Amino acid sequence: TLPALTNGNYFSSPGGVGPIAVGTNITRTQTIYVYAGASAACFDENSFIVTITPKPVADAPQNVTSCGSYTLPALTYGNYFTSPGGVGPLPVGTVITNNQTIYVYAGSSATCFDQHSFTITIPSTFTPSVSITASNKTVCEGAFVTFSASFFATPTNGGQSPTYQWQINGKDIPGATSSTYSTKFLVNGDKVSVVMTSNAICVTTPVVASQQIAMVVYPKPRVNINDPVAACAPGNIDITAASITAGSEAGLSYTYFTDAATSNILNNPNAVSVSGTYYIKGTSATGCVTIKPVTVTVNAKPTASINGSSSLCLGSSKTLDITLTGTAPWTVTYSNGTVNTTINSITASPYKLVVSPTANTTYSLISVADAKCSNTATGSAAISITPPISPVRYPTINAIANTPKQLQARIFTPADQYLWKPQLGLNNSLIYNPVFNFNKTTEYFITINSGTGCIVVDTQLVKVSQALQTPTLISDLFVPKAWSPNGDGHNDKLTPLLVNIKEIKYFRVFNRWGQLVFETNIMEYGWDGIFKGVPQGTDVFTWTVEGVGVDDRVHKKRGTSILLR
């Protein structure tokens, strides 16, 4: 840096050319002129040379850690010294055997130099070691054991991240390379150890083995389970009986549970009354256990019931239903009051028992057995015998051609069934009182199947004569103002009264809410006061009817009638 002058100024060329200010930093070697003067003839001038030398750059080695010793390598720039400022030279190749700070110095003068330092650390040598622990050295067969080289024992001089290889009886275990090892497949006498590889520096040897842990492994006890013979309710089963565990290892103690995890103790194992799977735990003197399931079966007793009580026509047969519960095949014993009868190998329920008594008989159940259990049975079915019915010929009925005429067969029970043959001229051949409307004399055979089972065929002759010719044939129809369906055979149905009517188009009855309760187009057929199976109470009902007379007149009428109870 150019300092201040007493007289004159700095210039880069002679004769006062190229002024340079005081304080200018000169960065290259050059000649500087100092010039003082008032004119070209009156001046003084001197010159000097400024020499600029480049600053040296010394090597900067990193800190070094070396086992035993360290040899100083060659440098690119500078030299080694024991002290700063280039004091205490150390030649390249010097062997350093203790911890020390070394200086690299490069310079041409006290003001023109570069210097760096680094530390050499010579640590002592170490011997690694590892020991292991086991969660348990004495176990039962199949129990988990955990071995550790870190959690319960710390390796010595293993470095930042040592590696491990576990061994059983000196042989590597594939994949067992962590600091712990767990297994449940040990056998008695197995020796477990680990080999550790240290990544620490300055160790005498990186690979060391731990001590061996010799395992004592007791075998599981041998438990044999024999499922008990099934019992019938309300019986029970003793699963503590010696026969249940016959064939097991001697000297075992047993406990009983409702679950496989053996967390719920079974109460009263000597009297189990519910079917299911239970669990028996056998424990040996060494404390080892084996758990086995036992199946208990308590079967419900079978049941039987009989139904079919009714009247029966003498000489007919009746089927009684015997309903069964349980497991096929069944055996049922019943009595007819005189003889006990046993039926074997029944495969389905209900069983159809066909009987043909000749007198009033009660069939009573005595016992029932299925594939598993037996039981007493109660229940009976009573059959009352009615004598056969003799056929009759009804009195001949005279009718006018094409004019409705009511016919009526005999009635024995409310369950009677009817079939009129032939069906010609009848409005309904399946009722006891069809309406005849035909132009020919016809003889009808009426098959009646009575509610007692007796069947009879009656005969009815209807003799037809032609209607008298009259000057005027008037047709009409009427509906009664009231009716009383009390079952006395009189006025039991609300039925249109027909006068020379050959066809009914419709007859409809409505309740007070306008709901249709009855409808028909059959002549002489009326409403008995029952709607949807329910007898209607006393009330006013509206009706409407349309019919066609023999004179082809169409009659449409409507009105109300009172139902009387």
Q: What is the pLDDT of residue 182?
A: 97
Q: What is the pLDDT of residue 468?
A: 55
User: Rounded to an integer, what distance in angstroms lies between the CA atom of residue 372 and that of residue 239?
Assistant: 20
Q: What is the pLDDT of residue 278?
A: 98
Closest by CA to 412, choosing from 457, 385, 448, is 448
Q: What is the pLDDT of residue 187?
A: 96
The Cα angle at residue 410 between residues 405 and 414, in degrees rounded to 5 = 110
Q: What is the pLDDT of residue 68?
A: 82
* Start-to-end Cα distance in the chain: 145
- Domains parsed from the chain with CATH numbers: 9-50 (no CATH), 64-121 (no CATH), 133-218 (2.60.40.10), 231-299 (no CATH), 303-386 (2.60.40.10), 397-465 (2.60.40.10), 476-563 (2.60.40)
User: Rounded to an integer, what distance in angstroms lies between the CA atom of residue 284 and that of residue 287?
Assistant: 5
Q: What is the pLDDT of residue 551?
A: 86
Q: What is the pLDDT of residue 118?
A: 97
Q: What is the pLDDT of residue 487?
A: 83
Averaged pLDDT, groups of 10, the chain, 565 residues long: 93 92 92 89 92 86 91 95 94 94 89 92 87 95 92 71 95 95 96 94 89 96 97 95 96 97 96 97 96 97 94 89 96 96 96 95 97 95 92 94 93 90 95 94 95 90 77 82 87 91 94 94 91 93 94 93 90
**Contact call for residues 321 and 307 (beta carbons, < 8 A):** yes
Q: What is the pLDDT of residue 203?
A: 86
Q: What is the pLDDT of residue 469?
A: 52
Q: What is the pLDDT of residue 157?
A: 82
Tally of CB atoms within 10 A around 188: 13
b/e burial code for range 520-548 (CB count within 10 A of at least 16 → b): beebbbbbebebeeeebeeeebebebbbb
